[in-house]
């Protein structure tokens, strides 16, 4: 009996140690709103952001600031009717009008319609640089990996193993290069904007809305500190021919908005970078 008890305790301790090793929220982030945690079958920590009409927005933001890096996370989005919600994974230097920001925003849908991924780059307060894509899978059925690579030459957006966008740095044009940024994940009410340009607001009878995050990864240069080992892999990363092929595939098959094609929004002429790609 004593041996059996000791064996059970040993297994429990091993599982606890494994879970602790894979815990990342409390070590690296502060939280806001209703944030719950659990563990999946492999011992990987799962962080769940909850949104209802009473609780308001929820999120977590990194304790450290970064200047360049590779950041990824696995997300499982809201099932069913998520119209009006916005689920985010992004970097930001702050809330001021001159901020830098790199966004991956998932705009909720009414049932049966694709979830839209909005990618955007802000540089010194200029943020009208969106590329939007219909996701080609159900992002609520399982976890998918979303990645941002930010280096001095370009910003790369990746879904699972496919690059879908490159925002290049051009001489004389704004680019996020000097303002340290924190990593954020948020879930909030974007009824005024998120779904069909605000035509379909949140239906609170479907609340609570839950987005799950797991397997957070960052290899980045900490502001005022050193870069992590292996930073050369992403610091010098630019797309090769095959990777540009996946970008063109995403643009051709799933892009629903490209700011470089929106002459109505830019009556004085398209942004200068649009003519340099």
Contact predicate 32/51, CB 8 Å = no
Contact predicate 195/115, CB 8 Å = no
DSSP one-letter code for 195: T
The beta-strand segments (E) located in the chain are 29-32, 34-39, 45-51, 58-62, 66-76, 85-92, 101-107, 116-122, 131-134, 144-150, 154-159, 162-168, 182-189, 209-222, 255-258
Contact predicate 209/201, CB 8 Å = no
Tell me the β-bridge partners of 183: 91
| Nearest one of 73, 60, 71 to 32, comparing CA atoms | 60
SS3 label, residue 30: strand
Tell me the β-bridge partners of 46: 38, 214
**Residue 155 to residue 157: CA distance in whole angstroms:** 7
Tell me the β-bridge partners of 72: 147, 217
Name every residue whose Cβ is closer than 8 Å to that of residue 1 and which is 6 or more positions away in sequence: none
Active site residues: 101, 105
Contact predicate 144/160, CB 8 Å = yes
Name every residue whose Cβ is closer than 8 Å to that of residue 214 and which is 6 or more positions away in sequence: 40, 44, 45, 46, 47, 73, 74, 143
């Amino acid at each position: 009996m004593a041996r059996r008890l000791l064996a059970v305790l040993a297994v429990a301790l091993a599982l606890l140690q494994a879970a602790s090793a894979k815990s990342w929220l409390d070590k690296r982030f502060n939280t806001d709103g209703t944030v719950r945690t659990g563990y999946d079958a492999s011992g990987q920590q799962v962080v769940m952001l909850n949104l209802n009409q009473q609780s308001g927005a929820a999120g977590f933001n990194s304790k450290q600031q970064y200047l360049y890096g590779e950041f990824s996370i696995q997300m499982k989005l809201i099932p069913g009717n998520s119209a009006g919600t916005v689920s985010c994974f992004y970097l930001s230097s702050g809330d001021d009008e001159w901020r830098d920001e790199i966004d991956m925003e998932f705009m909720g849908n009414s049932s049966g319609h694709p979830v839209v991924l909005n990618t955007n780059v802000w540089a010194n307060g200029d943020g009208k640089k969106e590329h939007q894509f219909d996701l080609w899978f159900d992002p609520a059925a399982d976890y998918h990996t979303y990645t941002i690579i930010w280096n001095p030459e370009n910003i790369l957006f990746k879904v699972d193993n496919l690059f879908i966008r490159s925002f290049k740095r051009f001489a004389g044009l704004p680019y996020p290069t000097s303002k340290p940024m924190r990593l954020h994940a948020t879930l909030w009410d974007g009824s005024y904007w998120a779904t069909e340009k605000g035509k379909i607001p949140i239906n609170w009878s479907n609340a609570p809305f839950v987005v799950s995050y797991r397997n957070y990864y960052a290899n980045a240069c900490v502001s005022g500190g050193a870069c992590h080992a292996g930073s050369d892999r992403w610091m010098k990363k630019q797309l090769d021919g095959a990777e540009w092929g996946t970008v063109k595939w995403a643009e051709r098959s799933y892009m629903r908005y490209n700011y470089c094609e929106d002459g109505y929004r830019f009556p004085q002429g398209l942004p200068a970078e649009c003519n340099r790609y």
